[in-house]
Amino acid sequence: MPVKIAVCFKSVPEFEQVVEADWADFNLATDLSYVKRVFGCFDESALEMALRLRSAWEALGGSVECTALTASPLPSPLCKTLFAAGFERVLDLSGAIQGEDPPNDTFPENRSGEFRPLYTAAVLGAYLESAGYDLILAGRQTGYADTGIVPLALAEALGLPVITQVEEIAPCNGGVEIQRVSDTGRELLRVRLPLLAIVGNSPVAALRAVTLSARMAVSKRSAERPELPASTQSAVKLAGLAALEPSGRESAETGPAGAFRFSRETPHKNCRFLPAGANLAQSAAEITAKYLKGWNKSGQNRDKEGGR
């Protein structure tokens, strides 16, 4: 029986490409379709980690099946990248987020599930509960909201052991060996499967580059959209919790701002540019004298007036 690995990932807009006018007026219905979507950075680590783990397991004589699944919008280029990188299956559950019956008074324009981590986890859990994966990987957090809630809520709903802040993962006797970061240092754990591993900052930072020929070989493939069970234990539990999430709907009860609002600070510094080129040495000397010298151990700059 092959070891079954699933990677939960999310695609997000490249936020640095969003124009200022859209930030100024942002709401859940703001159209960001002009912005390229990329893998969440921690999810990308998890995706690559799964493929490396498969290679390591196969080198030991095992067989592994890697599946990537998402409840977020999945642009075709990203889907093809996953197939070309080596995932056997790619599952698109975003239709369950967008479709018929949200569990409660979801803001009608919020069809992407953004800012609804428990709802997202409910959809993922509805599929994963009966799918029988040995190892589930996920990135620790992803914009828009960067709540970091989905994988942990998923682990609780599925009743799986969970290890966070994973840096590296390798097969070992009895399960997997995990190197993780903690608040106080690094730890090495050997754990049994099944398991949900949440990937944090890792040296495995990016999904492998795929060749044009690899892309062309998978050009006809597309993501599966599996039917989700009408109700599963995990989904029901998470949907109940999802009812507690801010919905974003304006109402007489919550007032004109609703329970959900966005704002943006605009920077207001006027940068003074110092000369460069032939005068760079003079500029560096000014900076050194005024800002770099004189910091003592207690954090006071004796050269500055009014240092704290």
Partner 1 sequence: MTIVFVPSHEADPCISLFWNLVTPIRAGDDQVEFWLPVPESRSAVWSPAPDRVLYGGPAAPGDSTGLWDVRYTGICLRWLESLWEERRPGLIIVPSTMAGHELAVRLSARLGCGCFTGAGAILREGARLFTRKKVCSSNLDWDAEIRDFPAVLTITGRQAFPPEDCCPCGKRKTPPIEHRPAGPLTLPEWLLEYRQYGVSPANPLETAPLIFAAGQGLGSRVACDRLRRVAERFGAPLGFSRPAALNGWGETGSIIGQSGVRTGAECYIAVGVSGAAAFMAGIEPAATLIAVNTDKNAPIFRYTDIGIIAGAEEFMAALEA
Report the site for partner 1 in 222-281 (rule: CB under 8 A). 240-241, 244-246, 254, 257, 259-265, 267, 269, 271-274, 276-277, 280-281
* Shortest Å distance, C-beta 14 to partner 1: 9
Is 77 or 246 the residue whose CB approaches partner 1 more closely? 246
Per CB under 8 A, the list member of 19, 206, 216, 289 interacting with partner 1 is 206
- Asked if residue 85 lies in contact with residue 47, where contact means CB atoms within 8 angstroms, the answer is yes
* Shortest Å distance, C-beta 47 to partner 1: 15
Nearest CA among 186, 182, 176, 149 for reference residue 164: 182
Binding mask 106-135 for partner 1 (x = CB under 8 A): ---------x--x-----------------
- Does 15 help bind partner 1 (rule: CB under 8 A)? yes
Is 28 or 79 the residue whose CB approaches partner 1 more closely? 28
Which residues within the stretch 164-203 sit at the binding site for partner 1 (CB under 8 A)? 164-165, 174-175, 180-192, 195, 200-203
Is 85 or 196 the residue whose CB approaches partner 1 more closely? 196
Nearest CA among 202, 192, 128 for reference residue 162: 192
Is 80 or 249 the residue whose CB approaches partner 1 more closely? 249
- Asked if residue 286 lies in contact with residue 303, where contact means CB atoms within 8 angstroms, the answer is no
Map tokens 């977020």 to a residue: 72
- Does 36 help bind partner 1 (rule: CB under 8 A)? no
Long-range contacts of 22-27 (CB under 8 A, 24+ apart): 23/264, 24/264, 26/262, 26/264, 27/109, 27/262
Nearest CA among 241, 12, 246, 10 for reference residue 122: 241
Which residues within the stretch 138-157 sit at the binding site for partner 1 (CB under 8 A)? 141, 143-149, 152-153, 155-157
* Shortest Å distance, C-beta 226 to partner 1: 24
Q: How many residues bind partner 1 (CB under 8 A)?
A: 85
Rounded Cα distance between 182 and 198, Å, is 13
Rounded Cα distance between 114 and 12, Å, is 10
